[in-house]
Amino acid sequence: MEIRYLWKPELSESSMVAAWPGMGYLAKISADYLRRRLSAKLFAEIRYYQNAVVYKDSLARLVPIRHRFYAAPEHDLIICVGEAQPSVPEEAYRLARGVVRVAERFNVRRLYTMAAYPSDYVEEPQVYGVYTDERLRGVLSARDIRFLEGEGAINGLNGILIGVARNRGIEGICLMGEIRYANVPQHLSSKAVLEKLAAILGIEIDTSHLVLRAKRVDASIRRRLDQYKETEEAYRRDEKEFRYIS
C-alpha cells in the first residue's frame, strides 16, 4: 500500500467523510455527490492491490484499486472515496489504518462514514446513527437522527474505519440510511443521509438532483416489471393454447 500526495491543502481542525461501495451503493453515491457539489479537489490517493489479477483476451495485468482523497478547504473537509473494498478482513483493517494516517496528517478531529440499513420503510427513509464517543449522542439527537437498540455490526470499511479512528483518538460517526433494495442504487436514501450529514457539518447542499436520479431508477424498474409481466402473460397464453397428443 502506498499513499501519494499531489498537493497539501490548508486545513484547520478538519473533518473527513469516507465511503466505499456497499449495499444500495448508498455510501459511494453520497460521497461522490458531496465532493462534486462542493467542488472538492483531488489531493492524495492510496493505491491498494487486491489478491487477484484482471485479464482481457487472456492478457493478465495487476491493476491497483484507488482510494482518492479530495479537499474542500473552505469547509475544512476531506472526502475519501474508494473504488472497492478489500476482500480480506485483515486487508480492510490495514487500509483503514492508512486512511487514518491521512486523517492524522491533516488534523482531522471527526471522521464520518455512511452505510445502508435494510428496511421495508413505507414513506421517507430514516437515518440512524452509530457513534464512538458518548459525547456525540447529542450531536445526532439534535438533528433527529435515530439510534439503534440492542447489539449489531456494521460490516466492511464503512464500519471498520470509525473503530480504527477511535483507537487513534479521532471521533467517529456512521450514518445509516434505510434502503429497500441492496442491488439497486438508493438515491433517496443517499439524499436523506446527506441532508443529515450536511446539517452536522454546517454546510448547505442541494440534493434535488438525487430526487431526479431516483425517479429515473424507479421508471426503469417499472419498465422492466412491465416487460416481465408481458412475457409472463404471453407464456401463459401459449401454455393454454398448447395441446398434447398421444
Instruction: Report pLDDT digits (tens) over 139-148.
Output: 999 999 999 9
**Per-residue pLDDT band at 232 (split at 50, 70, 90):** low
pLDDT at residue 160, rounded to an integer: 95
Do 231 and 198 have their domain in common? no
Do 187 and 163 have their domain in common? yes
Do 123 and 30 have their domain in common? yes
Q: Give the three-state DSSP class for 15.
A: strand
**Per-residue pLDDT band at 50 (split at 50, 70, 90):** confident
Do 79 and 198 have their domain in common? yes
> Which is more confidently placed, 188 or 122?
188
Q: Determine the Cα–Cα distance for residues 148 and 16; give it in Å rounded to an integer.
A: 23
**Per-residue pLDDT band at 49 (split at 50, 70, 90):** confident
CA 79 to chain centroid: 11
pLDDT at residue 221, rounded to an integer: 56
Q: Could you say which DSSP state residue 19 is in?
A: E
Do 159 and 170 have their domain in common? yes
Burial grade of 27 (CB within 10 A; 0-12, 13-18, 19 or more): buried
Residue at 28: amino acid letter:
K
Q: Cβ of 167: how many Cβ atoms within 10 Å?
A: 12
Contact 34/17 with Cβ under 8 angstroms? yes
- Number of domains present in the structure of the chain: 2
Q: Cβ of 240: how many Cβ atoms within 10 Å?
A: 7
Q: Give the three-state DSSP class for 48.
A: strand
Do 145 and 223 have their domain in common? no
- Which range marks the domain in which residue 39 is found? 2-205
Q: Could you say which DSSP state residue 73 is in?
A: G
Do 128 and 31 have their domain in common? yes
Query: Does the pLDDT at position 246 exceed 50?
Result: no
**Closest listed residue to residue 37, CA positions, set 203, 211, 217:** 203
Q: Determine the Cα–Cα distance for residues 27 and 234; give it in Å rounded to an integer.
A: 40
Instruction: Report pLDDT digits (tens) over 153-168.
Output: 998 999 999 999 999 9
Do 27 and 148 have their domain in common? yes
Across the chain, mean pLDDT equals 89
Do 236 and 174 have their domain in common? no
Do 121 and 107 have their domain in common? yes
Query: Does the pLDDT at position 220 exceed 80?
Result: no
What CATH number is attached to the domain comprising 142?
A: 3.40.50.10900
| Least confident span in 3-12, 50-59, 111-120, 184-193 | 50-59
Instruction: Report pLDDT digits (tens) over 111-125.
Output: 999 999 999 888 899
- In the chain, DSSP assigns E strands to 2-5, 15-19, 41-48, 54-56, 59-61, 65-72, 77-82, 110-118, 127-131, 146-147, 171-179
Share of residues in the chain with pLDDT > 70 (%)? 88
Arithmetic mean of pLDDT, 190-201 = 97
Share of residues in the chain with pLDDT > 90 (%)? 70
Do 239 and 167 have their domain in common? no
Do 172 and 99 have their domain in common? yes
**Closest listed residue to residue 180, CA positions, set 122, 114, 115, 118:** 118
